[in-house]
Amino acid sequence: MVDESDSKYTRIFLSIGGGQALRKTIIKPRARRMKLFSRIVQAYRSKSTTVIDVRWIVDRLSVILLGSLLWPIDQTLVAETSGIVSVPALVLLEPVDPAKAQDEQDPQSKSEYLQPQDRLTLIGGAMIERLQTDGRLEAALYQSLGSSSFQIRNLGWSGDDVGGTARAVFGQPSDGFERLKSDLKFTQPTVVLVAYGANESFAGAGGLEKFRVGLGRLLDMVQETGGRPVLLTPPPFEDLGPPLPSMQVANENLGLYCQAIRELAAQRNLAVLDLHSRISAAPKPAQARTENGVHLSQTGTAEVSRIMAEELLGKKSTDAQWMQLSNSGDLLAKIRKKNEWYFHRYRPQNETYLFLFRKHEQGNNAVEIPKFDELVQNAEQEIRRTATGLVPK
């Protein structure tokens, strides 16, 4: 028995078999973690050894245990905890400084920060879609990460929700979800920014459970494609006064949906880019953030883009640096052109004739669509050269 009542962290070394299997399980849902630890308990019991109170471990380590695993040698599990622990003879306990323990956390705990080799795909509704024609978010990311194979693909679709309903075109809502899955998989993402909740929030508290279920399903799908989800909370609606309606009730509902996003992220150990909290706490700008209380204006887009870039990169930008990017007309133009090429690649305006129920008329022209790939790749190479050539002020 070890008393750590002063809340210092304790490092626990469990000498067990199957270390690699455990390591791959660290980001699984809590229920699976409990099942896994139950199997460990059974193994110990079969050897007539003293057993750790597995439920105690899981309950108290649901946040830190699986975000703070270290693997100094094969088949050794390392975790941080505090409190009173009953341990078997195979366990070695040593005190660990809390600050040091935080520094030693698994890289997954810092997963919101992008890396130069990442392929970032953005999915969401109108706010994400409109970022294609702005370019400042991408400019900041390419400047910091574009020296290698870093790429950005924008799959935003106005009116979209977690079910992909807007993407169904002339099909059933389920077709929209399948299309989103197909389009997302085509981008081969390593990181997926998942930006939903604003459209769904208009259903009020009554639609909250449906949103939770739909978002969970969407996150499962994202992870199936190989992408690591980063959840984004939508910015608050803006009350611009008459003749536009008050956004008080809408914002109250939106707050519920943002909290649901945070809770689901915590349950799944996923990163959250809490745009809602950042904008809510920021001073009110001289000009309106939105055009109509909902859709971002140029002012709002600039503010949101800067926050998103800083959160994704894990570093602040100075006003001078942001002004430099905002005034890089050549770079922004190249980013917009790249996004236009890719928009036509995955969402051609005449797709009814190319792929859908009128393809018997012009479907032979569908062979032209993959030719956009080379245009996008060439544009992105030029973007990387231009962005990394900018010397940050």
- The predicted-structure confidence for 65-101, as pLDDT tens digits, reads as follows 333 332 232 233 333 333 333 333 223 223 334 344 4
| pLDDT over 50 (residue 345) | yes
Highest mean pLDDT among 54-58, 105-109, 191-195: 191-195
| pLDDT over 90 (residue 104) | no
Q: H helices of the chain, where?
A: 19-24, 30-46, 54-61, 98-103, 126-130, 136-145, 173-186, 208-224, 248-268, 275-281, 298-313, 319-326, 329-346, 351-354, 359-362, 372-389
How many Cβ atoms from other residues are within 10 Å of residue 161's Cβ? 26
| Residue with token string 């980063």 | 230
Provide the percentage of residues in the chain whose pLDDT is more than 70.
66
- Residues with Cβ within 8 Å of 263's Cβ and at least 6 positions away in sequence, in order, are none
| pLDDT over 50 (residue 280) | yes
Whole-number pLDDT of residue 95: 37
Closest by Cα among 180, 219, 211, 193 to 127: 193
Mean pLDDT of 30-59: 43
Query: Who wins on pLDDT, 43 or 131?
Result: 131
Which class would CATH give 111-389?
A: alpha beta
| pLDDT over 50 (residue 201) | yes
Q: What is the rounded CA–CA span in Å between residue 238 and residue 307? A: 18
Whole-number pLDDT of residue 369: 73
Domain with CATH 3.40.50.1110 in the chain: 111-389
Q: Is residue 192 within 8 Å of residue 226, measured between CB atoms? A: no
- Residues with Cβ within 8 Å of 229's Cβ and at least 6 positions away in sequence, in order, are 192, 194, 219, 222, 223, 270
Mean pLDDT of 370-390: 88
